[in-house]
Amino acid sequence: MKKDKKIVVKIVIVVIMLALVISIFLIAPNFMKDKNANKINLIINNNNVTAKLRHDIFINENGTIYLSMDDAENYFDGQIYYDKQNTQLITTSDTKVAVIQAQDKKMRVNGSDVQLIDTIIRRDGNIYIPISELDGVYNIETKKLNDVNVVTIESLDRELIKADASKNSSVKYKAKGLSKTIDKIKKGDKIVWISENNGWAKIRTSKGKIGYVKADKLTNKTYVRQKMETPKQINGKINLVWDYYSEYVSAPNRAGTTIEGINVVSPSFFTLKEGDTAKIIDNVARGGQEYINWAKENNYKIWAMFSNNSMKETTSKILNNYTQREKLINDIVALAVKYNLDGINVDFEYMNMEDKDVFSRFIIELAPRLRECGIVTSVDVTAPDGSENWSLCFDRNKISKVADYIVFMAYDQYGTSSTTPGTTAGCNWVEANINKFLGQEDIKPEKIILGMPLYTRMWKTDQNGKSTSSVVNMNKIEEKLPKDVTKVWDEQLKQNYVEYTEGNTKYQIWLEDEKSIKEKLTLINKYNLAGGAYWEKDRETEGIWGLTKDMLGL
C-alpha cells in the first residue's frame, strides 16, 4: 500500500513539473527582454521592422534620418539604383523619379530640383539615403517621436484609424491578460488602431509601442485616412489595335468610321531618330491631330506607339548613357502631355542582349513619370527563350513590376528569318508561352495583353528544297488561294491549313482567320489576361471586331 502511495506521489510530482515547464514555455516569451531597446526602433506602417533591418538607422546632428540603401530597396523601392559612373542614386516610386548626386545637397525629382538638408553618404561601406527628405518621393510621412528612440514611417496612401482611450489601461505584448506590459495609456490618450480580434485591439501608442488592449477600453474610433485606390484607366478587358504608318507618310484618315469593340488605338506617332543623341521623330504633325480628334470623339484611349525602329546601335548608345536616357524620358513625357495622350506603347525591338538591364532601367524611370500624368505605360515584348537580340534582350519580370502592361507579341513563330515553313502563331505555341509568362517569368495575368496577328505567311518551297515566305494580310488570303483548294483544320494549332503545288513550287499557308483568332481570344479568358491587341489595322476581315467584342465581353 505504501509502495502504491509513493508511486502516486511521484506521478503527481512529475505532472506538476511538466505543467510548470509547459507554463514557462507558454508564458516566458511574453516576458522576454526587448533586444531592440537600445537601438533606434523603426516602425513602418505599424510594423516594428528594427530586427529585420540589414543595417541600423541613424539620425545625424541636423535631425536627418538615414536608412541604408539595402533597406530602402527592401521596403520602398525594389529598383533603387546607384549609378557609379555618375556617382548618383536613382530611386523611384509609383509617380516619382528622384536623382540624388553624391555630395550635392539637392535632388532632381521628375526633372525639377529640390533642395536638401543632407545628401546620400557612405558609412561602414554602405550607402545611406536621407529617408526623411524623401517623403514627397515615396508619399510617406517620416517622424522621430519625442522623448523616445522611435522613428515612424507611414505610407500616406494607406488606411489610418485612430481612437481614444476610455480608461487607463496596460498595453500588453500579446493579446492575453497574462502577458508583459510594454506601455500604459491614460484615459483620453490618442492611439493608432491597427486591428481587432477576439475582443483585443492591436494598437500603436504615442510612444510607438505596438501591443494589445481590450477593445472595450477604447472609444471614438475614427477613420483619419481611407486607403487610396488608383483607378484603372479601363475597366474590363483591353482591346487594342495598332494603327501603323511610317514616319514618311500622313496618319490614317479615320474620319466617319468606328471600330467595333476596340477601346484603345495605338498609332505610330513617335520613333527614335538614328544617331548618338536621344532625339525623337514626332510624326503627329502628319495628320496626327485629326487622328487624335477622331479617337477622342469615339471614346478610344490613345496609347501612342514609341518605336526604336529596330536600330540596335542607336538604342544601345542612348540607353547606356543616363543623361541621354533622361532626356529621352523628358521628351516622351512632354510629347504625351502636349497631345493629351492616354498612354505610351514602348515598342523597342531587336536589341543587344547585353542591354537588357538598361532597357529595364529605361522603363523603370519612364513609367513613374507617365503615371504622375495619368498616362499608361505598356511595353511590347517577344516570347521568352528565343534568340539573343529578339527574346533574351527583355527582363520581362522586372518590366512587368513597373509598367502598367506587358504586351506579348504572340506572332512570327515562323517569321522573316525562318528557313523552314511553319505557322505564324499556332495556338499551342501561344498557350505554351502564356504559361511561361505566368510561370518562369512570374508575371501577373492582369498585366498581360495578348498580341495577335491579322496576317499570315505564304510559304513557297522550290524544287531544290529552298523555302521563302511573304506576308499575306488576313483580308487578302482568300484571293491568294486557288478556288479548288481544300482547307484542313489542324486541331493542335487551331488553324486551317492549305497546301498545293503549282509547277515545281510547293505552297503552304497556315491561315489566320476569324476561327483561329477566336481560339486565341479563348486563351485570354481562360488565363484571365488583361486583354488583346492586334497587328495591325486594315489587315482584318469584316467580322473580326464584332468577334473580339463578343469574346471579350465589351
Query: CATH 2.30.30.40: which residues of the chain?
Result: 159-225
For residue 4, the model assigns a pLDDT of 60
Q: Which of 239, 237, 241 is nearest to 540 (CA)?
A: 241
pLDDT of residue 11: 66
What cell numbers appear for 131 in the block? 529617408
- Output the average pLDDT for the chain: 93
Per the structure block, which three cell numbers stand in for 45?
506602417
Q: How many CA atoms lie within 13 A of 388 on its CB side?
A: 5
Report the distance separating Cα 114 and Cα 107, nearest Å.
Answer: 5
What's the pLDDT tens digit per position in 313-334?
999 999 999 999 999 999 999 9
Contacts of 270 (CB under 8 A, 6+ apart): 280, 281, 282, 283, 304, 305, 306, 307, 332, 335
Q: Output the pLDDT for position 19.
A: 58
Distance CA 402, CA 552 (A): 25
Looking at residue 285, its pLDDT comes to 85
Q: What is the pLDDT of residue 181?
A: 94
Phi, psi angles (nearest 5°) of residue 409: -75, 85
Q: Give the C-alpha separation, 307 to 268, whole Å.
A: 8
- Going by C-beta distance under 8 Å and a sequence separation of 6 or more, which residues neighbour residue 54? 68, 70, 71, 74
**From 21-35, 42-56, 61-75, 403-417, the region with the lowest mean pLDDT:** 21-35
Q: Which pLDDT value is given to residue 56? A: 96
Q: Where in the chain is the domain with CATH 3.20.20.80?
A: 238-455+515-552
Task: Answer yes or no: is pLDDT of 506 > 70.
Answer: yes
The pLDDT value given to residue 16: 65
Q: Is the pLDDT of residue 29 over 60?
A: no
pLDDT digits (tens, 9 = 90+) for 390-409: 999 999 999 999 999 999 99
For 276-297, the pLDDT digits (tens) are 889 999 999 889 999 999 999 9
pLDDT at 24: 47
pLDDT on residue 266: 98
Task: Give yes or no for residue 22 having a pLDDT over 60.
Answer: no
C-alpha–C-alpha distance, residues 74 and 67, integer Å: 11
pLDDT, position 31: 47
Kindly report, residue by residue over 71-107, the tens digit of the pLDDT: 999 999 999 999 999 999 999 999 999 999 998 999 9
Residues 6+ apart with CB under 8 A from 490: 426, 496, 497, 510
Q: How confident is the model at residue 26 (pLDDT cuts 50, 70, 90)?
A: very low
Q: Which tens digits make up the pLDDT trace of 343-369?
A: 999 999 999 999 999 999 999 999 999
Residue 9 has pLDDT above 70, yes or no: no
Given a cut of 90, whether residue 10 has pLDDT beyond it is no
pLDDT at position 178 is 86
Domain limits, CATH 3.30.457.10, in the chain: 41-152
Examine the pLDDT at 205 and tell me if it is beyond 70: yes
What phi and psi values does residue 391 have, to the nearest 5 degrees?
-120, -40
What's the mean pLDDT in 432-446? 98
According to the CATH classification, is domain 238-455+515-552 in 3.20.20.80?
A: yes
pTM summary value: 0.92
- Which tens digit of pLDDT belongs to each residue from 523-540? 999 999 999 999 999 999
41-152 sits in which CATH class? alpha beta
Helix (H) or strand (E) holding 391: none
pLDDT attached to residue 488: 98
Matching residue, cell 559612373 = 85
Q: How confident is the model at residue 230 (pLDDT cuts 50, 70, 90)?
A: confident
Share of the chain above pLDDT 90, in %: 88
Q: What is the pLDDT of residues 141-196, one digit of tens each?
A: 999 999 899 999 999 999 999 999 999 999 999 999 889 999 999 999 999 999 99
Q: Is residue 28 over pLDDT 60? A: no
CATH superfamily of the 159-225 domain: SH3 Domains (2.30.30.40)
Per-residue model confidence as pLDDT tens digits over 110-137:
999 999 999 999 999 999 999 999 999 9
Q: Please check the confidence at residue 215 and state whether its pLDDT lies above 90.
A: yes
